[in-house]
Structure formats: structure tokens, C-alpha cells
Structure 1
Amino acid sequence: MTAALNVSNVSFSYGRARVLRDVSFSVDEGEIVTIIGPNGAGKSTLLNVIARSHRLRKGSVSVGGADTSGMRQAGVVRAGCVLVPEGRQVFSTLSVADNLQLGGYTHRREHKRLVDEVYGYFPRLFERKDQLAGTLSGGEQQMLAVGRAYMSEPTVMLLDEPSLGLSPQMTAQVMAVLGKLRRDRGLTIVLVEQNAHAALELADRGYLLNGGEFVLEGVASALRDDPMIRHIYLGGAAFSDPIAPSVDAALARELADEA
């Protein structure tokens, strides 16, 4: 079976500073994989290389079996892989509706259907569709960033720190929608996060990136119980952060609504 995303021996440097060192991993269709690690570990750089926001200098990347290594960023989007960048980067002087329209430039004929689907996942965006994106709250802007990425109808969505600056409740809402996108659409998700609690609760598998290379990997439940992960990223306790039950509760509500 062809992987939804395959990254092979990717290295990247800023000048003489080597940020990624022969990184390899694959993600199956409909799988959620998280990459956690300290600041400066290379997590955001890895996503930017996959999405071709950064030039790929060594290694290869494929999406659904198609080699995207030599493509420009727009080509990678057309191949089915889209990045939700750190800091949201919405077009602040444009309305919510206009932001979504720009996100759907590769699927203009499907615009109405895709917009309706976005509003279905994020009803708050429908309520604010005529509002300038720059006047939204941080959580609403994150919803818009995810919705804008969804407008390209991706098979693989890369998310860089989606919980950054969000309250535990808003983090839980965003994570719950990502889980629902996987269940409803079979969306493959790669999630880079500092919030190891929320990320490992949502993901199927995880990788610990440090010094530009993976130093630990495994199923998410095993990583949550790993002594090193617990000590460094989970505050020395087994998944005791209040965000965790919030995510659990949000996912439970989504499943209850579908029943």
C-alpha cells in the first residue's frame, strides 16, 4: 500500500547550521502522526521542506506515491499536500469568506461545496463570514487557517503549532475538528506541536525530534507513558494536564453527535 506521505533522508541547513539530519518517516492514509520536540529541534523546518516553502536540498518527498521533491509550493498543493503555518498567517484585511476563496484557488469549480463543508466544521466562521480576518480572536483565526487549507481539498494536511496562543478549551475544539476531518474525509494529518499533551492524545503515532533527527518514535499511547517524554514534555506526570480531558470530552461530544 502506497503511503499518503513519505519522507526519505531529508537534510536541511541554514548556511553552515545543519537543522535536519537524514530524517525519514512515512504516514499512512488516514493516519494522524505528531512530531514533538523542543524549540529549535527542526520541527517547523521539516514541515516547510515537505510543503516546499523551503527548498529541498537533500533527500526526497512523495505524496500519494508522486515525487514532489522538485515541485514548487503550488505544485505540492495540487498534489494534495497543504501546510497550515505557524501563526495562522490569515489575510487580516480580507474577510473570512475572501480568505476561504483564496484557499480554494485549485478547486474553483468546487468552491461552494467546499465552503459549505468548512462552515459545517466551523459554524463560528459562518457567523463571521463577512468579518475581517484580522478582527477575529486567535482561536477563530486558527479555525480560518485550517478552513482555508481545507479549501484545497488536500489528502495530507500539515499543521505547525495549531495550539499556539490558544486557551485549553479552544485547543480542544480545534483538535476535535482535526479528528473529525480524519474520520469523515480520511484526511492524513501531520501535526507539529509543543503541546505534547494534546498532540499525543489525538495522534496514532508520534516522533520526538531533537537536534534535527528523530530520537524516539512509537504509538502515541506508548510515548505518553515513556519516562523521558513524561519527564521532559509532560511535567513528570502521566498525562495530567487539564487539556487532555478537554480534548477527550470534545472528541466524545463529536462522536455522540454522529451517533
Structure 2
Amino acid sequence: MTDALTVSNVSFAYGRAQVLRDVSFRVGEGEIATIIGPNGAGKSTLLNVIARSHKLRKGTVSVSGVDTSGMRQASVVKAGCVLVPEGRQVFSTLSVADNLQLGGYTHRKEHKRLVEEVYGYFPRLFERRDQLAGTLSGGEQQMLAVGRAYMSEPSVMLLDEPSLGLSPQMTAQVMAVLGKLRRDRGLTIVLVEQNARAALELADRGYLLNGGEFLLEGAADELRDDPMIRHIYLGGAASSEPIAPSVDAALERELSDET
């Protein structure tokens, strides 16, 4: 499988505070990888370094074989890697439609097609297309943040805590759409999540980041069965129980709607 994203020996510090320590991982085309870990582990910093919101000081990052290590953030987006930041960061005083238009600045000629695809994945955004983004619910704003990122037609989408502040039902809906984007578009997704249950249910691979280093990595189902992961992040649920039935149910509904 061809690597869509390759991160090699990336380190990062805020002043003297070392946050990332020689972090390396690969994500294949069309895979979903999730990074879990405690607050302060360096998860958000890692995504920001990959997307070049933070300057890369040590190590290399490649997107679909193209070295993006020295690029500015806008060039990384053009190379096919886009970040959906924590807190959504939509333009609150602009309409839904205007937010999507700004997200598609690198693909202006494809705007009509891309916006129609966004509305297809998120019908509620179509209903709210003339509404100011700041008046949307938290879940609707998260839909808009994902849709805005999709407008750049990325090959790799990075998402930082997409379930933050959302209800379980809305979390399931957002996760279901991410699964559809991977299935329909072959989109590669890297997901940083505190909701380890939903993330590991959706992902192919998982990584446990703590102290700026990966302590565990492997197939998502292997991490779900790891005693430490189950005890700390999954509440010690028995291995025979589904990790995130709400996500499963949402995915099944999405599939049944298409048939």
C-alpha cells in the first residue's frame, strides 16, 4: 500500500519544554489512523506540525511522496493535506456558503462540484447555507469545519478532537460521514480524539501518544483489546462488547439510505 502520509523523527518544543520526541508513523492511502492519549501528550501539536500551523524544526513530513517539510501552511494544503482544527474555527460572521467558498480557494474552478458534494454529505448545511456560521449548533459547526476542509479536495485530512462538545448522537453522525469519505473518496484520515471508543471503532490503526512519544501502536482492534487501553480509555469494558455501537448504527443507517 502506498503511503499517503509519512512522518519521520519529528520533534518539537515550546521553548525548553519538549513536546514531541522523534515521532514517526505512516498512514496508507485510504486508511484511518487515530491518535489517542492524555491531555498534554502532544497530540494536537503533532497535527499542527504536520499541517505546518507550527514550524517543523526537526524531522520530515511527506504527503503522497512529496516532502512538505519546508512548505508553508498554504502550500501544504495545495499538496493535499488539510487540518480541521480543534474548536472548529469557522468564520462566525460569514454564512455557511461563504465559509465553504473560502475553504475551496485552491480549487475555484471545481467550486460548484465540491460544494454539491459537501451538501450531499451534510444535508443540514444545505438547509443552513444562508445562515451565519456563528448561529449554528456545535454539531453543525463541526460539520461545516469538515465540509470547509473537504472543499480543498485533500488526499489527507487531519482532525483535532472533532467530537469535542458534541452529543453522542452528533458524534456518531460526524464519525459516520468520515467513514463515508474514506469509502467513497479514498480519503486518508488522521484523527486525534479523546473519545477513544468512537475513534478506535472507526480507525484501521491506532497510536497511544504520551509524553511526546508513541507508547503503543497497532491495528485498532488490537489496541481495543489491550488491557491498559481498556482500563484507562475504555472504562474496562469487556472485550465482547461493541466499543461504539452508536457509530456502528450511524454507519449502517448511512449505508441503508444509499440502497
Question: What is the TM-score when the length of structure 2 is the normalising length?
Answer: 0.98
CA distance in 2, matches of 1:204, 1:258: 23
**Cα gap change, 1:145 to 1:67, in 2 (>3 Å):** same
What corresponds to 2:192 in structure 1? 192
CA distance in 1, matches of 2:4, 2:245: 30
Shift of 1:220: 0.6
What per-residue deviation string (whole Å, max 9, x for no partner) do you get for residues 65-112 of structure 1? 000000000000000000000000000000000000000000000000
Contact 1:169 1:243 in 2 (8 A): no
What corresponds to 1:234 in structure 2? 234
The amino acid across from 1:183 in the alignment is: R
**Cα gap change, 1:244 to 1:35, in 2 (>3 Å):** same
**Cα gap change, 1:145 to 1:181, in 2 (>3 Å):** same
The amino acid across from 2:12 in the alignment is: F
Contact 1:7 1:23 in 2 (8 A): yes
Q: Secondary structure at the match of 2:244?
A: helix
What corresponds to 1:221 in structure 2? 221
The answer for unaligned runs of 5 or more in structure 1 is: none
What corresponds to 1:115 in structure 2? 115
What corresponds to 2:128 in structure 1? 128
Contact 1:60 1:69 in 2 (8 A): yes
CA distance in 2, matches of 1:91, 1:198: 28
CA distance in 2, matches of 1:240, 1:200: 15
Q: Secondary structure at the match of 1:206?
A: strand
Contact 2:201 2:243 in 1 (8 A): no
Shift of 1:255: 1.9
What corresponds to 1:202 in structure 2? 202
Shift of 1:256: 1.8
What per-residue deviation string (whole Å, max 9, x for no partner) do you get for residues 180-204 of structure 1? 0000000000000000000000000
Contact 2:12 2:18 in 1 (8 A): yes
Alignment partner of 1:158 is 2:158: yes
Question: What is the TM-score when the length of structure 1 is the normalising length?
Answer: 0.98
CA distance in 1, matches of 2:170, 2:255: 18
Shift of 1:25: 0.2
CA distance in 2, matches of 1:120, 1:38: 35
What corresponds to 1:32 in structure 2? 32
The answer for unaligned runs of 5 or more in structure 2 is: none
Alignment partner of 1:11 is 2:11: yes
CA distance in 2, matches of 1:76, 1:69: 9
What corresponds to 1:177 in structure 2? 177
Q: Secondary structure at the match of 1:61?
A: strand
What corresponds to 2:84 in structure 1? 84
Q: Secondary structure at the match of 1:101?
A: helix
What per-residue deviation string (whole Å, max 9, x for no partner) do you get for residues 39-77 of structure 1? 000000000000000000000000000000000000000
What corresponds to 1:255 in structure 2? 255
The amino acid across from 1:15 in the alignment is: G
The amino acid across from 1:160 in the alignment is: D
Shift of 1:244: 1.1
Contact 2:47 2:160 in 1 (8 A): yes
Shift of 1:242: 9.1
Contact 1:63 1:79 in 2 (8 A): yes
The amino acid across from 1:25 in the alignment is: F
Contact 1:197 1:239 in 2 (8 A): no
CA distance in 2, matches of 1:3, 1:29: 6
CA distance in 1, matches of 2:26, 2:239: 26
CA distance in 2, matches of 1:103, 1:32: 22
**Cα gap change, 1:42 to 1:130, in 2 (>3 Å):** same
Contact 2:85 2:160 in 1 (8 A): yes
What corresponds to 1:55 in structure 2? 55
Q: Secondary structure at the match of 2:105?
A: coil
CA distance in 1, matches of 2:65, 2:238: 38
